[in-house]
Amino acid sequence: MAPTKTRKSKPKNRKLSPVGQTFQSVSSPRSSREWVERKSRGIRILQVPTLANIPWLIHGFSTKPGGVSNQDDEKILNLGFTEWDTKENVLENRRRFQSALGAPDLKLVSLKQIHSDVIHLFDTAPTEPCQGDASVTNRLALLLGVQTADCVPILLVDPKKRAVAAVHAGWRGTLARIVVKAIGQMQMQFKSNPADILAAIGPSIGGCCYEVGTEVATQFLSQFAEAPQWFAEFRTGDEPNPIQWLNMMPPGHQPPPKNVLLDLRKANRAQLLGVGLRSSNIFVNDLCTACHRDLLFSYRKEGPQSGRLLSVIGIRSEGNL
């Protein structure tokens, strides 16, 4: 596996309301039932209360409603530059999103994401967009962002060392352990102790909908002992062996399935636990982008017409206070 590359480059509306029934806890004790929604001018932002309570921290996961982009006679908050939308719309959406977050003055740093394990350490905002899939900083007034429409956005904060990271983890990034490497960067650059780090795993495509080929599953199985727990087969309920497809040579005349279901959230949560994060410090949002298209964007379901969600984390300009 390629080593992690690090390139050195150069308030407060706290109105939070419980999200309610939309979120159902399924697997983890710190599940999305504990998340809250922050509403401002038609924009809805998902947040974790534990992170929102840190005075110097800004964080949030965007959703679809609000904004100025038009699709199917609906105004939506598309936060990524796509072919179907104008640059002006996206910039205005980003402005409104930051304003709703109470962070209009922070400088947004978003990457040209390439499904890699490349991590950037930022001291200042780059003049040109950098290629990579995670960013870390301990500087004030930078807003680290990742764009997604199914992939897993992960925000990390070390409240003791006052450092943050934003990670984009699709299946390739997850396979390359990008979130583990981001934690490694925080340890190396800021002397973070993983036991102190809080992680928010935002909305992404769920294990209910994320179909991948068995060749993808095989790669995970070759690298992670616990990987069988992250996959599910399309099942009728009668199969004697739930992971029959694993050996790829089933007895009798039943061919192995071409596709299986992958739960990327479980995989990333397991990786975070594996490097020493406390279970109680990992907050997983269970909303599936493909199941909740009224609230989120799904590339799998919508294709190139899909909008982009933006997940951000940063230290306020007055972060020393």
Binding of residue 232 to Zn ion (CB under 5 A): no
The residue from 91, 114, 195, 208 that contacts Zn ion (CB under 5 A) is 208
Compute the Cα dihedral for 59, 272, 309, 232 and give only its sign.
negative
Using CB under 5 A as the binding criterion, the count of chain residues that bind Zn ion stands at: 6
Give me the residues paired with residue 157 across strands: 164, 198
CB–CB of 185/119 below 8 Å?
yes
d(CA 159, CA 55): 10
| Nearest-approach distance from CB 301 to Zn ion, in angstroms | 9
Q: Which is nearer to Zn ion, 183 or 296 (CB)?
A: 296
Which residues are CB-contacts of 178 (< 8 A; sequence separation ≥ 6)?
A: 116, 117, 119, 133, 134, 167, 168, 169
The residue from 80, 206, 307, 314 that contacts Zn ion (CB under 5 A) is 206
Stretch that binds Zn ion, among 43-51, 60-68, 154-162, 203-211 (CB under 5 A): 203-211
| Nearest-approach distance from CB 295 to Zn ion, in angstroms | 12
Q: Which is nearer to Zn ion, 188 or 208 (CB)?
A: 208
Binding of residue 312 to Zn ion (CB under 5 A): no
Q: Which is nearer to Zn ion, 68 or 288 (CB)?
A: 288
What string marks each residue from 262 to 301 as x (binds Zn ion by CB under 5 A) or -? --------------------------x-xx----------
Question: In 3D, which of 139, 143, 162, 165 has the Cα closest to residue 154?
Answer: 165
Binding of residue 209 to Zn ion (CB under 5 A): yes
Which residue type, as a one-letter code, is found at position 106? L
Residue pointed to by tokens 């990992």: 282
| Nearest-approach distance from CB 28 to Zn ion, in angstroms | 17
Q: Which is nearer to Zn ion, 115 or 300 (CB)?
A: 300
First-residue to last-residue Cα distance in the chain: 41
Q: Which is nearer to Zn ion, 16 or 232 (CB)?
A: 232
Question: In 3D, which of 44, 90, 40 has the Cα closest to residue 65?
Answer: 44
| Nearest-approach distance from CB 207 to Zn ion, in angstroms | 8
| Nearest-approach distance from CB 291 to Zn ion, in angstroms | 3
CB–CB of 201/285 below 8 Å?
yes
What is the DSSP pairing of strand 152-158 with strand 198-201?
antiparallel
Q: Please state at what angle helix 178-190 crosses helix 264-274, rounded to 10 degrees.
A: 30
Residues making contact with Zn ion (CB under 5 A): 206, 208-209, 288, 290-291
